[in-house]
Amino acid sequence: MKQFTSIYDVSNLEQLVREARALKANPVQYEWLGKGKTLVLLFLNPSFRTRLSTQKAAQNLGMNCIVLDMAQGWQLEFEDGAVMNTDKAEHIKEAAAVLSQYADIIGIRTFPSLIDKEKDYADFVLHQLVKYATVPIISLESAIRHPLQSLADVMTIEEYKTVKRPKVVLSWAPHVRALPQAVPNSFLEFMQAAPVDFVITHPEGYELAPEFVKHTPVEYNQQKAFEGADFIYAKNWSSYTQYGSILRQDEAWMITNEKMAWTNHAKLMHCLPVRRNVVVADEVLDSPNAIVVEQANNRTFAAQAVLKQILERVM
Ligand code: SN0
């Protein structure tokens, strides 16, 4: 693997998932592979699971991992040709070139503005780093995608499924803040490539970008969508069409036991962090059908499979 910024960097998803599951069974079997190699993780936005699981993944492969929380440092300029007379002290041209001296692989997290749709959907910040770095880049969630999360999600579905081709439902749920579309966008891309029957359900006005939805069926009636489901993936996102807006916050779309009863004893997934009793009710998160913690655990092995394939290809 040359880099990991989306599903388009994965040549064989089934094999990558198999690799992640094998690493989970024996996490340190390749601890020689990353010896003397350095991973630098650049966080332009907050992180809990991604930081810890990716660092753990690197450690399992014998790699060094340096985490740079950019909230502590100065701001980077990403715009080519910028006159740097504002608060941004360092251009991505130098930053990426210098980072490439220290790092064998660079990871970056960058959230969308949720204001400038065109720039967000061009994944501008991620692509400026890819353009100016000379080492492989992995996305730790970009403006429009979160592929490490989605890889862990596919792995989790493979682990928990009880039928060959389970029904997976991505359900929009309410939230108090305007959140990115990155997690649902990536989930769409990975579900479209996975052996599942996949349906999206959300209120009108929350349609995701057509280039991500493609031919995936959208069911506006949440109950109809949930019928026969084996997995419910709850996630809020802000509006794509009325870019970055919150159109409704009401409880009607929260995931409750009553709604889980419409399904085929479905497992409940969420990328976390989850706002209890806003997105998903306590009764569901505290039930044995919630697999969100194991899903988070799988982030380590998803990241490890990606790092392993990059190390094997590039080093
Ligand atoms: C992020 C998102 O993309 O939805 C990260 C998910 C992995 N979620 C949040 O920022 C939630 C923050 C909140 O206030 O609940």
Question: Looking at this protein, which amino acid is placed at residue 284?
Answer: V
**Rounded CA separation 152/149 (Å):** 5
- Span 147-152, mean pLDDT? 98
The reply to whether ligand 1 has any atom less than 6 angstroms from the CB of 144 is no
The reply to whether ligand 1 has any atom less than 6 angstroms from the CB of 275 is yes
**Mutate which of 51, 144, 153, 179 for ligand 1 pocket (most atoms within 8 A of beta carbon):** 179
Predicted confidence (pLDDT) at residue 315 exceeds the cutoff of 70: no
CB 61 within 8 A of CB 46: no
The reply to whether ligand 1 has any atom less than 6 angstroms from the CB of 266 is no
What are the structural domains of the chain? 7-145+299-314 (3.40.50.1370), 149-295 (3.40.50.1370)
Residues paired with residue 98 on neighbouring β-strands, in sequence order: none
Residues ≥6 apart with Cβ < 8 Å to 22: none
The reply to whether ligand 1 has any atom less than 6 angstroms from the CB of 183 is yes
Rg of the chain over CA atoms, in angstroms? 19
Interval 202-249: pLDDT, tens:
999 999 999 999 999 999 999 999 999 999 999 999 999 999 999 987
Residue 250 — very low, low, confident or very high, per pLDDT cuts 50/70/90? confident
Give distance in angstroms: CA of 286 to centre of ligand 1: 20
Interval 96-121: pLDDT, tens:
999 999 999 999 999 999 999 999 99
Interval 268-284: pLDDT, tens:
999 999 999 999 999 99
The reply to whether ligand 1 has any atom less than 6 angstroms from the CB of 255 is no
3-class DSSP state of 146 = coil
pLDDT for 248:
85
* Residue 20: burial class (beta carbons within 10 Å; 0-12, 13-18, 19+): buried
- Report the share of the chain in percent with pLDDT over 70: 100
Averaged pLDDT of the chain = 97
Q: Is the pTM of this model over 0.95?
A: yes
**Rounded CA separation 182/266 (Å):** 24
CB 49 within 8 A of CB 272: yes
